Structure 1
Amino acid sequence: MNLDVFSTLFSVIAPVFLIAAIGYGWGKSGKTFDTPMVTMLVINIGVPCLVIDVLLNADLTAEALTEMALAAFLALSATVVVSAVVLKAWGLSFQAYLPALTFGNTGNMGLPLCLFAFGDEGLALAIGYFVVFIVLQFTLGIGVASGRFSPKELLTSPVIISVVIALGLMAGDVTLPKWADNTIGLLGGMTIPLMLLTLGVSLGRLHVQTLGRSAVLACLRLGLGFAAGWGVADLMDLEGIARGVVIVESAMPVAVFNYLFAVRYNAAPAEVAGMVVISTALSFATLPFLLLAVM
């Protein structure tokens, strides 16, 4: 690997790793960090503002965002089908393990990686991918973990509402007043740092009690996600930044939200915690190779 390639990879990975590491150290230190409050702040205010800010200021068409949303849906569908087959063959609980195998960390880790690897256009496309995942995670994911499905979660999601607003403004070629654009930009700007800090804090507070099954399933999550992303990118003939975003987002480790759902619904929380920690550690270790494959 020559110096230029190393410098490029380091400039992408270092900010993500260092901010998450600060959060990890904070979590391990025992200092106060209200994870539920920060998470709600990010989901209800930060992400919606980031969505509106990035989509309105990115030089992207609605067709490009629709293509990315379709890619996300196809990758997720492939992951669900293969995961379900594997879990059935191994005699493992769908309720406990299907959400963790299906939903990667497309937000806390995927968005900053796509920003630093592919720039503002990459972030805008990644948001198109992320929106599909977060909507399905908070509907299908919760439905599988809890055993019930609530359409209300979908209709009242601030992220979905922000996407509708952004697409409406884009379709009408509406320019926001400068004060509104600046305010939304400032609120959206807090999202990625808070996501990474929260990821680190959450990892620092998780306790891994079981390694064997968690490690196998963590490896399955990473391998299956990468394969699904690569396959969908080939199927849709995606090139350049769009291809890179789909593969990177699909290959993300187990999302921390899966652990929170597992705790809430008593769905093997100890093993899901192990999957989160192990898959995230492996993901950081393999990021240089992933980025080399797509950049």
Structure 2
Amino acid sequence: MLSSITLALTPIILIAGLGFLLGKRTDYLDAPQIGNLISNIGMPALLLTSVLSMNMEIYSMAKILLASILILFTMTLITLAFLKLTGQSIRFYLSPLVNPNAGNLGIPIAYALFGESGLAVAVVVSSVVQISHFTLGVGLMSGQYHPKQLLKNGPVIALLIGVIALSLSIKLPDAIMNTLTMVSQITLPMMLLLLGNSLSKLTIKDSGKLKNAVLFSFYRPFMGTLVALGITSLLPLTPVEKSVLIILNAMPVAVISYMLATKYKGPKEEMALMILVSLPISLGISGMLGWLF
């Protein structure tokens, strides 16, 4: 089992590491259009391909959506209390501690550990987390939120299309499905390359910020795991659905939290440190959970 987990996680680490090296030594991944391509084309294609090709029933999707929402809601309540007790900023730390990196790290890990069935679940969970980033994250850090932002989110639109297609038993032509499959195949490796590239750009100048950053780095994956364990035990989920939900909520602080903190003049250096420290912690937890499941 240990060899299987190592085999699953090694490509993820190596591809992200390649992205890190490319980010340090080249500008290959610096064009913002690459990220937009993955977010607006790759992720929606991956979502539709995974859900429709697995013939996921609308009931199964509804269970995953409900579980994801309950986990994030519970995490929000617990984290609110945690931040008040520690006297930390709710505006800048609530979303990063609630929302895991379920996209460019969680999806490849779920696919590596559980194959196509895990991938289908992961892309649905990731879409819910993206909605949370665009509501809880943007709303708190910016001080304002506009619902129109969701209408521009490709994965959210793809999720709605998938729900409608499943509800009406609509099957896309083989030519369209083959096209979506080809596009989606570039998504996972590119997500990992962009993750490594983003990590290569992070800078930390104040060592005095280490204490809180380390505390938060342990809090995000451990509390996410505990909450997911509790919520999934209450719902009629399949073993794969339960496992993927738990592992995705054990993921580290998302890179998008650093980007939002930078954009809205938040504690970007602490956020950078949280990402770097929480990453190996999450990988360790994922490995243990994969071994248990």
Partners of 1:59 and 1:121 within 8 A in 2: no
Residue of structure 2 in register with 1:118 after alignment:
114
For residue 62 of structure 1, the aligned residue among 58, 71, 91 is 58
Residues in 2 aligned to 1:167 and 1:286: alpha-carbon distance in whole angstroms = 32
- Larger mean CA deviation between 40-49 and 152-161 belongs to 152-161
- Whether 1:256 aligns to 2:255 is yes
- Give the AA of the match of 1:278: V
In 2: Cα distance, 1:172 partner to 1:237 partner:
24
Deviations 1:208-232 (A, max 9, x none): 3332211111111111111111111
User: May I ask how many residue pairs the two structures share in their alignment?
Assistant: 290
1:44 corresponds to 2:40 = yes
Deviation at 1:170, TM superposition (A): 2.2
Runs of 5+ in structure 2 lacking a partner?
none
- C-alpha deviations, 1:101-153, integer Å up to 9, x for none? 01110001111111111111111111121111111211221101111011101
Structure 2 CA distance, aligned partners of 1:285 and 1:31? Answer: 31
- Structure 2 counterparts to residues 67-216 of structure 1, below 5 A: 67-209=63-205, 210-216=209-215
Match of 2:217 in 1: 218
Cα distance in 2 for partners of 1:77, 1:223 equals 16
| Rounded Cα–Cα distance in structure 1 between residues aligned with 2:77 and 2:254 | 19
> How far, CA to CA, are the matches of 2:31 and 2:243 in structure 1?
31
Q: CA-to-partner distance for each residue in 1:157-206, whole Å, 9 max, x for gaps?
A: 22221112222222332332232222111111111111111111111221
TM-score (norm 2): 0.94
Q: Do residues 279 (structure 1) and 278 (structure 2) align?
A: yes
RMSD over aligned Cα, in angstroms? 1.5
Q: Hey, what's the Cα distance between the residues in 2 that align with 1:268 and 1:35?
A: 24
8 Å Cα contact 1:208-1:277 kept in structure 2: no
- The answer to whether residue 235 in structure 2 is matched with residue 233 in structure 1 is no
Q: Output one character per residue of 1:69-99: Cα deviation in whole Å (capped at 9) or x when no partner.
A: 1111111111111111111111111111111
Residues 35 and 111 of structure 1, relative CA distance in 2, 3 Å threshold: farther
Amino acid at match of 1:94: I
Does the CA-based 8 Å contact 1:35-1:198 persist in structure 2?
no
Moved segments of 4+, more than 3 Å: none
- The percentage of aligned residue pairs carrying the same residue is 31
CA distance in 2, matches of 1:76, 1:134: 11
Quote the offset at 1:30 in angstroms: 4.2
Counterparts of 2:44 and 2:289, CA distance in 1: 29
- Answer yes or no: is the 8 Å Cα contact 1:47–1:159 preserved in 2: yes
The alignment partner of 1:211 has SS state of: helix
Q: With structure 1 as the length reference, what TM-score do the two structures score?
A: 0.94
Aligned partners of 1:30, 1:46: CA distance in 2, in Å?
A: 23
Q: Distance in 2 between matches of 1:194 and 1:52?
A: 18
Amino acid at match of 1:197: L
Give the Cα separation in 1 of the matches to 2:93 and 2:2: 36
| One-letter amino acid of the structure 1 residue matched with residue 251 of structure 2 | M
- Three-state SS of the structure 2 residue aligned to 1:108 is coil
- The residue type equivalent to 2:266 in the other structure is A
With 158-167 and 212-221 compared, the bigger mean Cα shift is at: 158-167
